[in-house]
Structure 1
Amino acid sequence: MFTPTAEAAVKGCRTDPIVILSDGTILDIQAAIDTSVSNVREIHYIVHGPPGVKLVAAISTPTLGFRGKETFTYYADAQPYQYVTDVVVHTTGERVSVTSYTTFLKVTLLRGPLLSLQYKPVHGYSGETLRTVLTR
């Protein structure tokens, strides 16, 4: 479920990077882009986590077509217990359809295991900021 992949489809491509935070949160941020990977110029992922939570790892989509096109920025400036993802895709064509899917996973082991899982899609177009806000 959280394996980074990139898929070519009949119409479009998809990125699937993983972000791991110091509080045990894992974010799977997918971007379904309605054009071929060769038309994708850049993809920016901006993650806002709660104060005191640090970025442990940002694992890029392991595909030659996306190599060097993805950037990650992390800020610990969200509200407590809140995780915000911004995805911005720039393509060679205008008004290319983009859907961002953010999956939030956190396992807490205090007083027994507790699994938090949330999933939220946001639709827009290339050049727009697709923002997802998840609260645990």
Structure 2
Amino acid sequence: LWALAAVPAALVVYTLLLWPFTPAISDIRKAKTEQPAQLVSADGRLLAEYRWVNREWVALEDIAPSVVDALIATEDHRFYDHFGLDWRRTASALIRTLGGDKQGGSTITQQLARNLYPEDIGRAPTLT
């Protein structure tokens, strides 16, 4: 019974330890838009960069609902069921990766944070 309770308790402690290093929503809103968006391959090779001058900003309402649905279906199908961190998917990815089937467990929100703060977060496939 203690071992069963230890796993969720360890996750809570781990999350609380990371909390001070987590950027606030206001920090995300102030993210540098001058920073180029980077398209990176699975092995970490830079494929393309999209700078401010190459971008055309579009309001969410102007994007076809099918495009938004496709993004959510391929990147984070439980997007509306969590608040940025999908613990169920993270645990599943961890178990499958330990079993030899390397998988990512990041949500769209985590991918946004990784892209906005590449120096702080990095691209290493770690839980942190």
Larger radius of gyration: 2
Q: What is the TM-score with the length of structure 2 in the denominator?
A: 0.24
Query: Quick check: which one's helix share is greater?
Result: 2
